[in-house]
Structure 1
């Protein structure tokens, strides 16, 4: 990937507008779920489209990494996904976490072949949760 790598972030509906707007203020390219899909569209509907565009998925829906159909979609369509491990934190705190971790997110994207699912923690750590090897095994089962 080149130095002028300009990722596009797709914010799923769980994150809302304010986090995306904060990232836009940081100079990031952001696409919002509701600009492309119905608010209630299932993850298995939008995941293939977003992934094929090469967009980076940002969500706080941890269940997406546990739902078999969704995980298989992540694996099949080579998704780059980051899940905020949020519990119940304020929108202000979520914005702060994304602002503080965006460079780490981009480093992981540059250094890892998709598909993968990473977790973003409240202490600003970002770690791979399910890597390419783990996800590809699901496609064989």
Structure 2
């Protein structure tokens, strides 16, 4: 994948700068939450902006996939979200996992229509959790 073809990953505040740094070293285009929004900004407020910019969200915030308002925000903003399943990893472990999974994340994002939420497992496996169809039904 050439640099111009690469998506931009938006690193949620909860993942920290170490994940952003590791992805940059791995060759990813990255934007960090703290460079654009206040730490305590509600997800429903930043999701539409991230969606407008076409950025792909990386998070470990499990509520992002279960909270009705946040699910609706993901659906209406047409956002692609990857959520780390094991939130109790160290920052270094999270950084290494996302960096190791970068090519798989990019391929998955390219091959699946927004909006979606996919889970990223400790072993690097990526699996669709909330599909475009499921998320768009929330807007009916």
Both proteins in one fold, TM over 0.5: yes
Post-superposition offset of 1:4: 4.7
Q: Tell me the alpha carbon deviations over residues 105-133 of structure 1, each in whole angstroms, 9 at most, x when there is no partner.
A: 11111111100000000011001100100
2:24 aligns to what? 24
Q: Which residue of 2 aligns with 1:75?
A: 75
Deviation string for 1:16-49 (max 9, x for gaps)? 1011001111111110101101110000010000
Whole-angstrom distance in 1 between the partners of 2:59 and 2:88: 14
Q: How does 1:76-91 map to 2 (within 5 A)?
A: 76-91=76-91
Aligned to 2:14: 14
Report runs of 4+ in structure 1 exceeding 6 Å deviation: none
- How far apart, in 2, do the equivalents of 1:38 and 1:4 lie? 29
Give the secondary-structure state (helix, strand or coil) at the position aligned to 2:39: coil
1:100 deviates by 1.6
Structure 1 unaligned blocks of 5 or more: none
Is 2:16–2:91's contact at 8 Å kept on the other side of the alignment?
A: no
Please report the TM-score for the alignment, with normalisation by the length of structure 2: 0.95
Deviates most, 90-99 or 62-71: 90-99
TM-score normalised according to structure 1 size:
0.94
RMSD, aligned CA: 1.4
1:55 — aligned with what?
55
Aligned pairs, number: 139
Which residue of the partner structure matches residue 137 of structure 2?
137
Cα shift at 1:86: 1.7
Q: Quote the offset at 1:5 in angstroms.
A: 1.4
Consecutive unaligned residues in structure 2, runs of 5 or more: none
